[in-house]
Structure 1
Amino acid sequence: MQPNKISIKQFFKYFKIAVSGKEKDFTSGSIRRAVFMLSIPMILEMLMESIFAIVDIFYVSRVSVNAVATIGLTESVITLVYAVAIGLSMAATAIVARRIGEQDKDGASQAAVQVIGLGIVVASLISIIGILYPKEILQLMGGEPDLIAEGYGYTQILLEGNVTIMLLFLINAIFRGAGDASIAMWALIVSNGLNIILDPIFIFGIGPVPAYGVKGAAVATTIGRGTAVIFQLLILFYGWSKIKITFKDLVFRAAVMLNLIKVSLGGIFQFFIGTSSWVFLMRIMSEFGSEVLAGYTIAIRVMMFTLMPAWGMSNAAATLVGQNLGAKKPERAEDSVWKTGKFSAIFMGLVSVVYLILAPQIISWFTPEIEVIKNGALCLRVFASGYIFYGYGMVITNSFNGAGDTYTPTIINSFCYWLFQLPFAYLMAIYYDFGPIGVFIAITLAQVILTIVSIIWFKKGHWKSVNV
């Protein structure tokens, strides 16, 4: 009993250190401790990000089925923004982590400025499209006329304010690369806390604030994320993290920008492959009506909530790989990945059991509609059958990115998503008339294949020789 008590005390002691951000050196000492210290705040950060989606669905499901379906269609488009943001953030994490591992803090600060500037430019272009063509976007995605009339305001506001999504991703990636994962976590806590408070106010109307319906969810989310971005910028400029941006850093640096673009292009295309496949899958799902689409949307949101811890652990692996390669310790980098992958797979395996048993009850928390619950539960159970592969595969894939090797996962994604998942989903769901379950099976099988191929390629070790 005594050893267990000590272990519990140690857990809470290390947990406190992890969320406070006091641990700074991840290139020496226990690898398990390093994984824990980085993973805990990154897991909490990712949970905060996924709560955004859960909260929006929870409130909006009280408005209408069309409102939920609108969020699903819009989110499938906004994932293209995420593709750019995550692609740039992968480059930011890889380059900043490498500079920190090399003890080059000035180089890390210069990279941070260039990635923020590039993100603002890209977000501005996306905003213009969102302001001018929200109805056309929903129509292209297969939205019915009444859905478009009710929900286009949500699409317009979310795309118009996408700079808050972009910068929140990018600046948190900078913090993660520097090993300041706790700061990224607190930024999401600020953002999410505001969203939880503002969602019911703007959706249903309270006091002088009118009821905006589904449009109000976009207003609340944008305000919450925008506030967090201001919080992040204050930390960077006041030097409350490892990285401090000064006025002398606010200049265009061609060499740094070109290096950033070179690394990020692979990452952007990598996630564009994945997210564009989600867009096409959503388009296939829209063929089966709003009830099926709503069930699929709710299941995806629930699924994302428990994928975020695995994503957090994969971010920890990426930081450990980048910093240890910078410190000329490739074997320590590799060992970090295998340990993190094991922890992620165990966690996802436990979650899959819960989803397989309780899927209908979980979906019913978000909607009373019988058909929506039926389709959402089916989706969740099929996804859960491949959860262990999701957990391990995310860690391996992001480890390539942490090394700056963003092109290897791009090739693997191309094969698994475009050459297998999309054709298989269409054939099963439409051609062979299996319906929605054909799409669900295609998604799960694609992830299983991706994980197996990634592990085989990671063992070859080419990622250890990549320079960024």
Structure 2
Amino acid sequence: MTIDAPLDMRPTAAVPPAPTNALLTSPILPTLLKLALPNAIAMVGTTLVAIAETSYIGRLGTEPLAGIALVFPFVMLTQMMSAGAMGGGVSSAISRALGAGDRDRAATLALHAAMIGACAGIFFTVMMLAFGRAFYTLLGGRGGVLEEAMQYSHVLFSGAIAIWLVNTLASVVRGTGDMRIPSVTLIGTALVQIAVGGALGLGLLGLPKFGMGGVAAGQLAAFTLGAMFLAWYLVSGRSRLTLNFAGFKFQRAMFVDILKVGAVSCLAPLQTVLTVLIFTKILAGYGAETLAGYGMGSRLEFLLTPIAFAFGVASVPMVGMAMGAGLVTRARQVAWIAGIAAGITVGTIGLIVAVMPALWVSMFTSDPGVTAAASSYLVWAGPAFAFFGMGVCLYFSSQGAAKVGGPVVAGTARLLIVGGGGWWLASMDAPASAMFALVGAAMVIYGLGTVLSIRLTRWGK
């Protein structure tokens, strides 16, 4: 006769431990730096594109250079809205779903995100093809300059859907915590754009010379290929999400989850572009040397923005997954550490050029008037770069928490200070240095306002 052992004494098969999400458990700063590095490398590709396109268009003549200046704000608006604003909303929604352990919801969100990106791209195409000439005329485009702008604009914005899909699908992948594939895609896109744009624009390798339309065609071809690759990657089963087209159905809640962050975030790039356009218009009254000096100094500001972008985009899935898992304290820690890291990195460079502006200015000009204006800008605005970098990074972190309202309000304050204060100073015949000090003060207020808004906003339910 055998006696059964008590149930609690019977040997049991070993149960494997539940898989853990590294973004929820790993040390914050090392993980953040690991995620930020690929984004920073991808931004280098974007910078190379800007340099290459400027070089190509410069060879085409003065009117094409002036024409691209008219189109550039709208190109930047398209990129910033699709990659940073709506893209942040996409990454936020997907990472929060994954943090809550709901992979099916994350996959469904990805398909809804693609539809939003496609519709937004079509909207930009219709708007720019219908009203592009009016926009460029309003900015001062006339004669040959306007026609050169239209050549570039018509080609590029006819395929705006490709730009939106690349940035939207890249944001889907980033939302899973994978920064490598989006970065590799963007670098490849940049290389294709440089090669094809140069060949078609300048007529290299025996190809016809299409001028501005050819340069734009390079960008269009590159983003089309990039969108096709990311779409293939997401449906091939190689990504961290398995997309289920068979069981897909439209769900209003999915659109709301993305748009409640992405739609509000779209106000931020609008504010940025308006701030630049308004201040440029005001400075035009100070003469060509002052305007050129500001352009040279602000160019460094734009090149430093990708550093804050890299930290910010890296923080979105970390914050989002923590929020989805109910780890609100960790989510806030990620945001503060990312903001401080971005502020220190960008601020250090700002302080260096504020103390030694010639390190930057001498690379581009030897004209005494332009050098003086650019140096003045860096002296006054450089120390404020830290606050700007922190504000930009925290704006992205707040997207991960789906609490983006405060940073957008801080951006509005910056716009009003630069616009209203600039017009007032101009009416008082204030020197250009006062204008540059105003820009620096607006950056400080933007950064501190963003910090305060996140400090006072309750994260979590």
Same fold per superposition (TM over 0.5) = yes
Q: Encode CA deviations 1:36-76: one digit per residue, 9 max, x unaligned.
A: 22111122233333333233224333444443343333222
Q: Does 1:431 align with 2:419?
A: no
- The residue that corresponds to 1:89 in the other structure is 87
Give distance in 2, aligned partners of 1:242 and 1:226.
23
Paired amino acid for 2:49? F
Are the equivalent residues in 2 in contact too, given 1:68–1:297 (CA < 8 A)? no
- The residue that corresponds to 1:11 in the other structure is none
Counterparts in 2 of 1:68-87, with a 5 A limit? 68-82=65-79, 84-85=81-82, 86-87=84-85
Give distance in 2, aligned partners of 1:194 and 1:258.
35
My pick for the range that moved more, 402-411 or 127-136, is: 127-136
Q: Per the alignment, in what secondary structure is the counterpart of residue 207 of structure 1?
A: helix
Are the equivalent residues in 1 in contact too, given 2:90–2:172 (CA < 8 A)? yes
Q: Per the alignment, in what secondary structure is the counterpart of residue 22 of structure 2?
A: coil
Q: Per the alignment, in what secondary structure is the counterpart of residue 388 of structure 1?
A: helix
The change in CA–CA distance for 1:135 and 1:238 in structure 2 (over 3 A counts) is same
- Kindly state the Cα deviation for residue 378 of structure 1 after the two structures are TM-superposed: 5.1
- The residue that corresponds to 2:455 in the other structure is 459
Give distance in 2, aligned partners of 1:44 and 1:91.
22
- Kindly state the Cα deviation for residue 293 of structure 1 after the two structures are TM-superposed: 5.8
Give distance in 2, aligned partners of 1:75 and 1:421.
21
Match of 2:25 among 24, 28, 33: 28
- The residue that corresponds to 1:216 in the other structure is 214
Q: Does 1:404 align with 2:402?
A: yes
The change in CA–CA distance for 1:433 and 1:220 in structure 2 (over 3 A counts) is farther
Are the equivalent residues in 2 in contact too, given 1:97–1:322 (CA < 8 A)? yes
Q: Does 1:449 align with 2:437?
A: no
Give distance in 2, aligned partners of 1:237 and 1:105.
15
- Kindly state the Cα deviation for residue 138 of structure 1 after the two structures are TM-superposed: 1.4
Gaps of 5+ in 2: 1-19
- The residue that corresponds to 1:99 in the other structure is 97
Are the equivalent residues in 2 in contact too, given 1:318–1:401 (CA < 8 A)? yes
Give distance in 2, aligned partners of 1:120 and 1:79.
18
- The residue that corresponds to 2:419 in the other structure is 422
Q: Per the alignment, in what secondary structure is the counterpart of residue 385 of structure 1?
A: helix
- The residue that corresponds to 1:8 in the other structure is none
Give distance in 2, aligned partners of 1:145 and 1:95.
46
TM-score normalised over the length of structure 1: 0.84
Give distance in 2, aligned partners of 1:406 and 1:249.
32
Percent identical among aligned pairs is 20
Paired amino acid for 1:451? G
Are the equivalent residues in 2 in contact too, given 1:131–1:157 (CA < 8 A)? no
Give distance in 2, aligned partners of 1:76 and 1:441.
24
Q: Encode CA deviations 1:338-367: one digit per residue, 9 max, x unaligned.
A: 222222222113322453466566466567
Give distance in 2, aligned partners of 1:156 and 1:437.
39
Give distance in 2, aligned partners of 1:55 and 1:232.
25
- The residue that corresponds to 1:350 in the other structure is 348
- The residue that corresponds to 1:338 in the other structure is 336
- The residue that corresponds to 1:3 in the other structure is none
- Kindly state the Cα deviation for residue 437 of structure 1 after the two structures are TM-superposed: 5.3
Give distance in 1, aligned partners of 2:92 and 2:297.
32
- The residue that corresponds to 2:233 in the other structure is 235
Are the equivalent residues in 1 in contact too, given 2:36–2:311 (CA < 8 A)? yes
- Kindly state the Cα deviation for residue 217 of structure 1 after the two structures are TM-superposed: 2.9
Q: Encode CA deviations 1:244-294: one digit per residue, 9 max, x unaligned.
A: 323226542222113322232221223333333333334445556777666
Q: Encode CA deviations 1:75-95: one digit per residue, 9 max, x unaligned.
A: 223344345423321211111
The change in CA–CA distance for 1:205 and 1:442 in structure 2 (over 3 A counts) is farther
Gaps of 5+ in 1: 1-22
Give distance in 2, aligned partners of 1:270 and 1:393.
12
- The residue that corresponds to 2:12 in the other structure is none
- Kindly state the Cα deviation for residue 26 of structure 1 after the two structures are TM-superposed: 0.6
Q: Per the alignment, in what secondary structure is the counterpart of residue 24 of structure 2?
A: coil
Paired amino acid for 2:161? V
- Kindly state the Cα deviation for residue 439 of structure 1 after the two structures are TM-superposed: 5.1
Match of 2:50 among 50, 53, 56: 53
Match of 1:116 among 114, 117, 133: 114
Q: Encode CA deviations 1:183-231: one digit per residue, 9 max, x unaligned.
A: 1111111111112223332332213323344443322222222221111
Are the equivalent residues in 2 in contact too, given 1:65–1:294 (CA < 8 A)? no
Are the equivalent residues in 1 in contact too, given 2:107–2:241 (CA < 8 A)? yes
- Kindly state the Cα deviation for residue 332 of structure 1 after the two structures are TM-superposed: 1.4
Are the equivalent residues in 1 in contact too, given 2:71–2:149 (CA < 8 A)? no
Match of 1:44 among 41, 46, 52: 41
Are the equivalent residues in 1 in contact too, given 2:316–2:399 (CA < 8 A)? yes
My pick for the range that moved more, 281-290 or 331-340, is: 281-290
Give distance in 1, aligned partners of 2:55 and 2:290.
17
- Kindly state the Cα deviation for residue 461 of structure 1 after the two structures are TM-superposed: 4.7
- The residue that corresponds to 2:156 in the other structure is 158
Are the equivalent residues in 2 in contact too, given 1:52–1:221 (CA < 8 A)? no
- The residue that corresponds to 1:306 in the other structure is 304
Give distance in 2, aligned partners of 1:437 and 1:368.
20
The change in CA–CA distance for 1:258 and 1:456 in structure 2 (over 3 A counts) is closer
Give distance in 2, aligned partners of 1:156 and 1:287.
31
- The residue that corresponds to 2:188 in the other structure is 190
The change in CA–CA distance for 1:451 and 1:159 in structure 2 (over 3 A counts) is same
Are the equivalent residues in 1 in contact too, given 2:308–2:392 (CA < 8 A)? yes
The change in CA–CA distance for 1:391 and 1:83 in structure 2 (over 3 A counts) is closer
Are the equivalent residues in 1 in contact too, given 2:70–2:149 (CA < 8 A)? no
Q: Encode CA deviations 1:420-455: one digit per residue, 9 max, x unaligned.
A: 221112233x32344765654433321110111222
| Structure 1 vs Structure 2 CA RMSD | 2.9
Counterparts in 2 of 1:310-321, with a 5 A limit? 310-321=308-319
Give distance in 1, aligned partners of 2:292 and 2:156.
19
Give distance in 2, aligned partners of 1:435 and 1:136.
33
Paired amino acid for 2:443? Q
Name the count of aligned residue pairs. 441
- The residue that corresponds to 2:268 in the other structure is 270
Paired amino acid for 1:52? V
My pick for the range that moved more, 49-58 or 444-453, is: 49-58
The change in CA–CA distance for 1:25 and 1:278 in structure 2 (over 3 A counts) is same
The change in CA–CA distance for 1:139 and 1:101 in structure 2 (over 3 A counts) is same
Q: Does 1:128 align with 2:126?
A: yes
- Kindly state the Cα deviation for residue 379 of structure 1 after the two structures are TM-superposed: 4.6
Are the equivalent residues in 2 in contact too, given 1:425–1:439 (CA < 8 A)? yes
